[in-house]
Amino acid sequence: METAAIHTRHVRHQYGRRVALEDLTLEISSGAVFGLIGPNGSGKSTAFKVLSTQMLPTSGDLEILGFPISQVGEIRKRIGVVFQSPALDKKLGVAENLRIQGWLYGLCGKELDNRIVTVLEQLGVLDRSRDSVESLSGGLQRRVEIAKALLHKPRLLILDEPTTGLDAHIRRDLLNYFQKLRSTEGMTILFTTHYLEEAEACDRVALLERGKLVAYDSPRNLTASMEQEILTIVAVGAAELKQEIEKESGLHVHVVGEELRAEGREAHKRVAWIMERWGDRIDSLRVGKPTLEDYFIKQTGQRYEGREEAHA
């Protein structure tokens, strides 16, 4: 049986008296693309720091690539980490940054030269290898960051918000590249993201809220656990309208800000009747298949606020 890439059991972490992560139990299969998601203050950044060996958990058991967290040196030889904050020397050239990283992992000579060419070519920045990092766009700098983490051929690549601040097409390119690494190298990819549409492309996701695990499954299974359609209504006086719609339609309606959300089979068949009955009070109405955000709202009763975390 193949060893899981990451296995956590009842992991907990706290800063003083504040618990940022509580009872985190996960098993991430080797060769998976795994998304760690959660809104601001969910504990997502704390989980990243623990899983990337930046800090030890307060309690609980953690194994990475078959090694207990006590053998952090062995783990670090086998993982690549990309931080949200830039970790490149912008005054140096692209290849120079990678060369220094290679030395840290014991690479040198022709072996290192070949690896630099390979990873830069794979990420489409080989033609910029002699350019200074500061001359590159944000998207190209992000690619160089990832190339640096791949130099030593890690078995596990861990990334913190790798697509933050990037254009949509660059984000898609990076996500496609992660899938390629999984399929061609057998690499396990774990990344945090506050973009739920990115998480929907993962094999499995862990959804955190206030330091606790809310969901842990494939995106398809999570959304499939809901009814077939989500009816969303934007209206002034949403709370009053909720009571009327529930009374007359039998739907169970959630109030989320100024929106009403109802989950039901063939919800689209109710649109005409709802608009005829309350159309003068409704600003907009839409029907769609459930998303991860809909799942989050159902579990927590809150809208998903996908902002980067400051401390947790």
Verify that 137 and 254 share a domain, yes or no: no
Q: What are 19's two structure tokens?
A: 């618990």
CA distances from 299 to 12, 225, 249 (A): 22, 12, 23
**Which of 197, 218, 239 represents a domain boundary (last residue)?**
218
Note the pLDDT of residue 6.
Answer: 97
Mark whether 212 and 252 lie in a shared domain. no
| pTM, to two decimals | 0.83
CA–CA separation, 251 vs 261, rounded Å? 10
C-alpha distances out from residue 119 to 192, 246, 281, 303, Å: 22, 57, 57, 39
Residue 9 pLDDT greater than 60, yes or no = yes
232-261 mean pLDDT: 84
Q: Which domain CATH number covers 269?
A: 3.30.70
Question: In this model, does residue 217 exceed pLDDT 60?
Answer: yes
**Is 209 found in the same domain as 265?**
no
Which one, of 33, 76, 65, 303, lies nearest residue 193 by Cα? 33
For residue 13, what pLDDT is reported? Answer: 96
Grade residue 290 by pLDDT with cuts at 50, 70 and 90.
confident
Question: Among the listed ranges 48-62, 113-127, 174-188, 237-251, which one has the minimum average pLDDT value?
Answer: 237-251
In this structure, are 241 and 94 located in the same domain?
no
Residues 55, 108 within the same domain: yes
- 281 and 139 part of one domain: no
Domain boundary among 198, 218, 238: 218
| CATH code of the domain covering residue 173 | 3.40.50.300
One-letter amino acid at 58 equals T
Rounded to whole angstroms, what are the CA distances from 253 to 88, 224, 237, 239? 49, 19, 14, 10
pLDDT of residue 307: 44
Query: Residue 275: which domain range?
Result: 227-289
Q: What are the helix (H) ranges across the chain?
A: 44-51, 72-78, 94-104, 109-122, 138-150, 168-185, 196-199, 219-224, 238-249, 271-278, 292-300
pLDDT in tens, 50-99: 999 999 999 999 999 999 999 999 999 999 999 988 899 999 999 999 99
Residue 28 lies in a domain: yes
Q: What are phi and psi of 9, to 5 degrees?
A: -135, 110
Domain annotation covers residue 213: yes
Domain annotation covers residue 311? no
Query: Do 178 and 249 lie in a common domain?
Result: no
165 phi-psi bin (left φ>0, alpha ψ -120 to 50, beta other): left
Query: Can you tell me the mean pLDDT for 26-55?
Result: 92
What is the pLDDT averaged over residues 25-52?
92
- pLDDT one-digit tens code per residue, 140-175: 999 999 999 999 999 999 999 888 777 888 888 888
Tell whether the model's pLDDT for residue 48 goes beyond 90.
Answer: yes
Give residue 310's identity as a one-letter amino acid code: A
Phi–psi pair at 21, nearest 5 degrees = -145, 130
Last residue of a domain, one of 191, 218, 245: 218
The helix/strand/coil state of 39 is: coil
